[in-house]
Amino acid sequence: MYTTRFLDLPPLAAAAGTVRLPGSKSISNRVLLLAGLSEGITEVHALLDSDDTQVMLAALQQLGCVLERDGGVLRVTGLGGRLGVHDAQLFLGNAGTAMRPLAAALALLAATQGGDFRLSGVPRMHERPIGDLVDALRQLGCTIDYTGNDGYPPLRLRGTAGGRLSTAKAIRVRGDVSSQFLTALLLALPLVAKDSHIAIEVDGELISKPYVEITLNLLARFGIVVQREGWQRFTIPAGSTYRSPGRVHVEGDASSASYFVALGAIAAVDAPVRIEGVGTDSIQGDIRFIEAARAMGAEVSGGPGCLEVRRGTWPLRAITLDCNHIPDAAMTLAVMALFVQGTTRLTNIASWRVKETDRIAAMAAELRKLGATVDEGADFIAVTPPAQLTPAAIHTYDDHRVAMCFSLAAFAGVPVRILDPKCVAKTFPDYFEALFDLVRTPVEAIPVITVDGPTASGKGTLASAVAKALGYHFLDSGAVYRATALSAMRIGVAAGDEAALARIAATLPLHFVGGDAHLGDQNVADALRAEDVGAMASKVSAWPAVREALRQLQLSFRRLPGLVADGRDMGTVIFPGADLKVFLTASAATRAERRHKQLISKGISSNIATLRADLEARDERDRNRSVAPLKPAEDALLLDNSELTVEASMAQVLQAWEQRRPFA
Ligand code: DC
């Protein structure tokens, strides 16, 4: 997962390959709640692991459910409808799929079994309406207080044991703000339908019906068959009890699939994008996104549990579509609209305004940054792309879907910056990794920053810090030479045997695991830092055949979203076209002192004068060798960090990088 402040996507070209989707958020949280309320144990397979499911899991655990993980399976021991814990404060983040149904279930349980529960979330959660659900629950006789603003969380739910609810009359609930109110009631009311049936009547036109269908489908799997008259009246039969089906498999998230369907429509030019985990048999309403994608020109085929998408009509076709049936996935259409000629109109999307953010306002603002003409109203958005997009830094409003759908704009030939990329953790923590896996971008388009300099100049520390700040890959090219040296020392190959050294280099089993160098399956991170290995590396690296043999290995680190490479010749030989080249120096005295401190911290004793003489000798050799001598690239930024902290050097490099970026 990218936890950086921003993630820059270079202009992207084609895409192909297979993505395995994480589990559906809607199914995961409903299944967790149902399993939590059921008698007995439910084995949940392929559960989504994300922020929204984490808060639901934490809440269930606080309420006394036992959760056991076993590989990819979660075993939930339910409460059997009986409260074990009667007093709890639950923090539910920004998860509407946790807040609404838990509010309903705990209000009913507190009212009948006694309890005092406080439900809160992040500030945005406290701006998302819940009044219609509270009103419906109050009709039954539940005691619910708003402890912040009326109509919004946080909530306090109270009751005394033995309390009775009035379930004889049908409960009325509004259906035109969020279908989650109805879903919450449907999921929770079986708790109090032992003796008599309970009816729910929906006021207003029910929106997002497919989500209610998921609710009904999952309730049926847990033994509760709701009778439905149109979309107006729902009846929970008397004697309903939650019965665990024993095992539930969570299908992949159909809303998450939309980004990859769109990716295929935009960029699967030579080979298809294959999506696994969700297919045409899905119970999720957002699967109908594929109809919209087809209408825009995508070629989509599919079967049970999988989809395959290719680019069809190009440019895509503008459409006008009532999106009430696919509210979440429809955001992806608004970005696909950048790839059409003409105006795409998405209507009947008023619910966007009460989601993670006001999504109509958010989409309009960010599409405009890219140069699109956007018309927005209370319940629609119309998007017309410009002839040429403008690179833009996309604000993501802590809304995972804004971040994910705007990543596709990078296929319109411009770099795109996604601010706060970690917001995708709500439903798809590894979204960007999954995207990069499928993207086929010419290597020259992948940004590179090089940091060269003499030994002990601090370039490794600086380069890895810069890589971390940008979310880029990191290459410590010194490790490549050190690993060759170490391998040679271990088998007794001499520093003068160029041919044998080159053979070692050509088949070096070097790879990195979490930043640590490994030779084969052995972690050699510490072994590589030894002084004798460094000295041998300096000699080994003077041989042209060795350098040539290690070239390809170094080039292979250039992968999306970008690379920061440090060494001696990164900017001059290996990546001469790098987007930013830094040449880092420090006085020999400073460098000797730094190395001395480094060695002491590792418990190795040393002498500053000897260290200084050593590193000057090594500089001399690195500078005067015939191939790839140590010298600054002509266009390098020269940075003497003798007097600078790592943070100060990093700030200078990041500032220089920012100046080369096209984002205002
Ligand atoms: O940066 P370092 O101390 O880990 O590098 C070890 C040796 O490898 C150094 O003496 C020179 C050599 N080297 C090189 O020739 N070219 C590079 N790009 C990186 C290191």
Per-residue pLDDT band at 312 (split at 50, 70, 90): very high
User: Distance between CA 652 and CA 16 in Å, rounded?
Assistant: 38
622 Cα nearest atom in ligand 1:
11
Residues 203, 209, 211, 214, CA torsion sign: positive
CA angle 380–383–388, rounded 5-degree value: 165
Mutate which of 451, 480, 486, 538 to test ligand 1's pocket (most atoms within 8 Å of Cβ)? 538
Cβ–ligand 1 distance for 345 under 6 Å, the answer no
Q: Is the CB of 618 under 6 A from ligand 1?
A: yes
Residues 155, 101, single domain; the answer is yes
Res. 192 pLDDT band, cuts 50 70 90: very high
Ligand 1, atom nearest to 625 Cα: 15
pLDDT band at 657 (very low <50, low <70, confident <90, very high): very high
Q: Are residues 280 and 148 in the same domain?
A: no
Let me know if residue 541 belongs to a domain.
yes
What are the tokens at 73? 């399976």
End of a domain among 414, 440, 466?
440
Note whether residue 369 is domain-resident.
yes
Average pLDDT of span 70-78: 95
Distance 537 CA to ligand 1 centre (A): 7
Q: How far is the CA of 562 from the centre of ligand 1 (A)?
A: 22
Q: Is 534 in the pocket of ligand 1 (CB under 6 A)?
A: yes
| Residues 178, 31 share a domain | yes
How far apart CA 153 and CA 102 sit, in angstroms, is: 12
Task: State the pLDDT confidence band at 598, using cuts at 50, 70 and 90.
Answer: confident
Residue 664 has pLDDT above 80, yes or no: no
One domain for residues 568 and 628: yes
491 C-alpha to center of ligand 1: Å?
Answer: 21
Residue 329 lies in a domain: yes
In this model, does residue 177 exceed pLDDT 90?
no
Give residue for tokens 């040679």.
Answer: 488
pLDDT band of 637, cuts 50, 70, 90: very high
Average per-residue pLDDT for the chain: 95
Strand partners, 118: 89, 156
Residue nearest to atom 4 of ligand 1 (CA): 478
Distance 478 CA to ligand 1 centre (A): 4
Per-residue pLDDT at 430:
97
| Residue 145 placed within a domain | yes
**One domain, residues 389 and 520:** no
**From the CB of 622, is ligand 1 less than 6 Å away?**
yes
99, 148 Cβ separation under 8 angstroms:
no
Q: Quick one: pLDDT at residue 223?
A: 96
Q: Do 427 and 469 share a domain, yes or no? A: no
Determine what percent of the chain is predicted with pLDDT higher than 90.
Answer: 92
Which residue among 457, 461, 477, 563 has the greatest number of ligand 1 atoms within 8 angstroms of its CB, and so is best to mutate?
477
- In 311-396, where do the E strands start and end? 320-322, 344-347, 373-376, 380-384, 392-394
**Closest ligand 1 atom, residue 456 Cα:** 3
Residue 1 lies in a domain: no
User: Do 245 and 377 have their domain in common?
Assistant: no
Q: Are 427 and 553 part of one and the same domain?
A: no
* Closest approach atom of ligand 1 to CA 528: 4
pLDDT at residue 625, rounded to an integer: 84
CATH code for position 554: 3.40.50.300
Q: What confidence score (pLDDT) does residue 178 get?
A: 85
Instruction: Judge whether residue 603 has pLDDT over 90.
Output: no
Domain match, 241 and 265 both: no
Higher per-residue confidence, 431 vs 210: 431
Q: Using the mean position of ligand 1's atoms as its centre, give its distance from the Cα of residue 644 in Å.
A: 23
In the block, which residue shows the tokens 């999988």? 306
Nearest CA to 367 out of 395, 326, 346, 345 is that of: 395
DSSP assignment, residue 118?
E
Let me know if residue 614 belongs to a domain.
yes
Tell me: the pLDDT tens digits for 351-410? 999 898 999 999 999 999 999 999 999 999 999 999 999 999 999 999 999 999 999 999
CA of 560 to the centre of ligand 1 (A): 25
Asked whether residue 125 falls in the same domain as residue 267, the answer is no
Is 334 inside any structural domain?
Answer: yes
Domain range for residue 289? 6-22+253-440
pLDDT tens column, 530-586: 889 999 998 999 999 999 999 999 999 999 999 999 999 999 999 999 999 999 999
pLDDT at 344: 98
Of 230, 249, 268, the residue at which a domain comes to its end is 249
Q: What is the DSSP letter of 422?
A: G
- Dump pLDDT digits (tens) for 447-458: 999 999 998 899
Same domain assignment for residues 462 and 595 = yes
In tens, the pLDDT along 416-431 reads 999 999 999 999 999 9
Alpha carbon distance 524, 510 (integer Å):
10
- Same domain, residue pair 341 and 278: yes
The verdict on whether 328 is a catalytic residue reads yes
Minimum mean pLDDT range among 23-32, 193-202, 599-608: 599-608
pLDDT exceeds cutoff 90 at 255:
yes
- SS3 category, 565: strand
d(Cα 380, Cα 322) in Å, to the nearest integer? 9
Which residues on adjacent β-strands are paired with residue 39?
A: 243
pLDDT digits 0-9 by tens, 318-361: 999 999 999 999 999 999 999 999 999 999 999 999 898 999 99
SS3 543: coil
Whether the CB-CB separation of 489 and 501 falls below 8 Å is answered with no
Total structural domains within the chain: 3
Q: Which of 132, 286, 328, 476 is catalytic?
A: 328
* CATH number of domain containing 68: 3.65.10.10
Residue 599 reports pLDDT greater than 90: no
Q: Which of 211, 226, 249 is the last residue of a domain?
A: 249
Q: Which atom of ligand 1 is nearest to the CA of 554?
A: 18
Answer whether 112's CB lies under 8 Å from 79's CB: no
CA 661 to chain centre: 23
State the maximum Cα–Cα separation within the chain, in Å, rounded to a whole number.
Answer: 93
| pLDDT confidence bin for 519, thresholds 50/70/90 | very high
Name the pLDDT band for 628 (thresholds 50, 70, 90): confident
